[in-house]
Structure 1
Amino acid sequence: MLLNSIVGSILTVNFPITKWLRSWIEPWHAPTSTSPSNEITKTEYEAILRDMLKTMGTGFSPQRPCAHLASQISTHISPVTHNQDLARKVCKVGALVALYFYPTHGPAVQALIGTYTAFYLILDDEGESMLAQISQFRALLMNPSPSSAPAAIQMTMTAPFKLLAWIFTEIDRVFAPPVANRLVAGVLSSLSSLEIELDRSTAFSGVASPLFAKYFRNMNGSSEAYVYFLLAENPEDPQGDGVTGSRLKRFLQGVPELWNVTDEINDLMSFYKESIGGDERDTFVYHQARGAGVSIAEVLRGLAREIPRRSGLIERIFEDDEQLLEMARGFSLGQIEFYLASERYRLAELRLE
């Protein structure tokens, strides 16, 4: 996912790694537990979010049409799961993510990103039944013929992982090699962390480095992959600017900010669904409040200030490259608009205008 970082000398390990992605499709449940005393009211949250939206210059707008793109994604996703209701949901999410996060990308690239998103959500939901394939995917990818593979990995690649192998070939087609390398490395890393999360036979010990939550969050690779998806080549425009060495280096200088703003937008804009409308307390916001000894409202106000500040820094980093600037600006604003437009987050229930 991506939502857990604790300030302090030690931390208790108890968090879902893929929460950032999973929150896009999981059903909402009404609160069932007693809330801790350190809480925030709906009215307070509305004011915090309203100020951030005003500073960023954005707000509610009609949801972008996504049926055609979702249908394209479905041609790849429907065959890899028996749960067609889940397939329908993740295909719509994949389409909306591609349309909102990457508004300047061409339809073919948006379809690829949407398919990857939907695939990962399927894997996250059904992964416990696929642990052997998750564990051995890299080896199977390098030894596609079972007869030539070591005895320990003599299995055939199942349909979901054949789809992932296809996604890798498409990544090579539409991303420059240095970017494709980062994307593939991030996906393989995310499979490793997903395997660890889904393995219920062992547990983490109770005490860990204060940096562990952020390390494991980053190990998942979800936010990083979505940052690098910005650097797509346009296969329909071979004469285009492309990803040159200088452009890639400039982009890399902004990656930490793009990565962090992605997490911060999620932390702030999913809070209403998760912790005001819902009862989730194992989130970055609650961990940060406990670790720093501050209120929930203070953490949320900090996020609301940090998102515009970081977005401004991103614009300064890319100000000499108009194409990167346009993509980065669309990426940040598009994420905010995605949360506003998605029924999942229930933000239409709030007074934000």
Structure 2
Amino acid sequence: MRSNISGYASVTDCGGCKRQVFNSSCYITSLVDPNSLNSEVHMSMSYLPFAHRFASLAAQTVKRMLGNTLHRNTEPSISETTRSFLQRIRYIPPQTNESRRKELVSALQETLLSWRVLPAANSSSIYSICQHSAAMAELSYPHHDFDTQLQIAKFTWFLIYVDDLSSNMPSALEDFQLKLLRHEAPEDPVLQHFTGHLMDMYRFWDRLPANCITSAALEFITGCALEIHTEIRKIELALSSTSWPYFLRARTGVAPAYAVMIFRTLSGNMSRYMQVIADVCLFIDLTNDVLSFHKEEVAGETRNYIHNRAGVSRKLPTNVLAEVAEEAVAAQNRVTAALRACRSEGIHAWETFVQGYVAFHLTQDRYRLNELLS
């Protein structure tokens, strides 16, 4: 899954075979196809108990070994692109509010426990996701009050949950919007609370910005369902299908929601910032792609925008990474110039968001950027 903030979902099994969103000409698939290995091992050992699991583990092992070997060769290029990106966006580590973040984690946990629908066995994982969600809210939106930050942290928690749910209960995602229109309860009990949470957005933002948040959430659910759908996984893209990678990436990025959350909540002047929302979304998506690429290469993960784009453009992923970094910087510059030109009060919120959003990636261990940049 390619949510900007989650990344907790693992590669999923489909019919006993590990599959990518589509077959690209990336490094790993050009050398050996672990998906084919999975199928062959499964067929030759089908008479043995646990052959299905063994085949899956074998494919993962080969993929991981190849990914690590290839990544050692590309790591200097990735490091150079990442360092250049940070310099060009003029990144300065922002001050953090650790006490506020702890308060957000505590309030978020209290909310989750009050639902009485989450398994106690997953308490450590739930706490970890609470920390992740609180960090996103505290670092990226320091200008908002506590209640608004908590609303953003809850939103992030739900997205991570949906990302994981797509692997375990895809039907719940495919049916979510239909049940919503029919006024029926979602299949998954947590999604019932998500519906209430989206309705609550209108207490924090005016109707049109809140509409952007809720529609982005619905697009995200559809995007997650698309990514894991059997027919989508079988797609073999033509060279002319250059728009497909970003179409899928935009569905699962939730960028419009995080973009409008930057600016004033109630009774804000939309004319001062709505014109830049498209470029804010582009910056959010592409910055995440740049700063997530290292950890995904270490894991041998090729189901991401950069590899998908490399596949249809027949370019090396590291070259696409450099292009994406350039596009993110250009988007940031356009937003900054537009907000300054109209003397928008949103310029400060935008500039603090940029620093906080990047700091979020740099300070979360899961992105493994310390090992890349040290």
1:24 and 1:168 mapped to 2: Cα distance?
A: 22
Q: What is the aligned partner in structure 2 of residue 318 from structure 1?
A: 339
Q: What is the aligned partner in structure 2 of residue 298 from structure 1?
A: 319
Q: Following superposition of structure 1 onto structure 2, how do residues 1-353 of structure 1 map, counting pairs within 5 Å? A: 16=1, 18-23=2-7, 32-35=64-67, 40-59=73-92, 64-65=97-98, 66-78=101-113, 79=115, 80-82=117-119, 83-141=122-180, 144=183, 159-200=189-230, 204-207=234-237, 209-220=241-252, 222-233=254-265, 242-244=267-269, 248-275=270-297, 277-319=298-340, 320-351=342-373
| Aligned amino acid, residue 119 of structure 1 | F
2:133 and 2:343 mapped to 1: Cα distance?
A: 28
1:161 and 1:228 mapped to 2: Cα distance?
A: 23
Contact 1:25–1:344 at 8 Å: present in 2 too? no
1:25 and 1:136 mapped to 2: Cα distance?
A: 20
Contact 1:340–1:347 at 8 Å: present in 2 too? yes
1:285 and 1:189 mapped to 2: Cα distance?
A: 20
Q: What is the aligned partner in structure 1 of residue 46 from structure 2?
A: none
Higher helix share: 2
Unaligned runs of 5+ in 1: 1-15, 145-152, 235-241
TM-score, normalised to structure 2, is: 0.73
Q: Deviation string for 1:147-187 (max 9, x for gaps)?
A: xxxxxx5x577531231122123201111011111222222
Q: Secondary structure at the match of 2:302?
A: coil
| Aligned amino acid, residue 359 of structure 2 | E
Contact 1:274–1:280 at 8 Å: present in 2 too? yes
Question: Identity over the aligned pairs, expressed in percent?
Answer: 18
Q: Deviation string for 1:119-163 (max 9, x for gaps)?
A: 12112213455445434444544555xxxxxxxx5x577531231
Cα offset for 1:299?
2.6
Q: What is the aligned partner in structure 2 of residue 10 from structure 1?
A: none
Number of residues of Structure 1 aligned to a counterpart in Structure 2: 315
2:181 and 2:220 mapped to 1: Cα distance?
A: 18
| Greater displacement, 278-287 / 93-102 | 278-287
Contact 1:268–1:303 at 8 Å: present in 2 too? yes
Unaligned runs of 5+ in 2: 12-59
Contact 2:339–2:346 at 8 Å: present in 1 too? yes
Contact 2:295–2:368 at 8 Å: present in 1 too? yes
Cα offset for 1:339?
0.8
Contact 1:24–1:344 at 8 Å: present in 2 too? no
TM-score, normalised to structure 1, is: 0.77
Contact 1:60–1:341 at 8 Å: present in 2 too? no
Q: Deviation string for 1:297-339 (max 9, x for gaps)?
A: 4333333333333212111111123421112212222221111
Contact 2:108–2:150 at 8 Å: present in 1 too? yes
Cα offset for 1:211?
2.1
1:37 and 1:157 mapped to 2: Cα distance?
A: 42
Larger RCO (alpha carbons 8 Å, 6+ apart): 1
Cα offset for 1:56?
2.5
Quick one: structure 1 residues 212 and 293, their matched pair in 2 at CA, closer, same or farther if it must change by over 3 Å?
A: closer
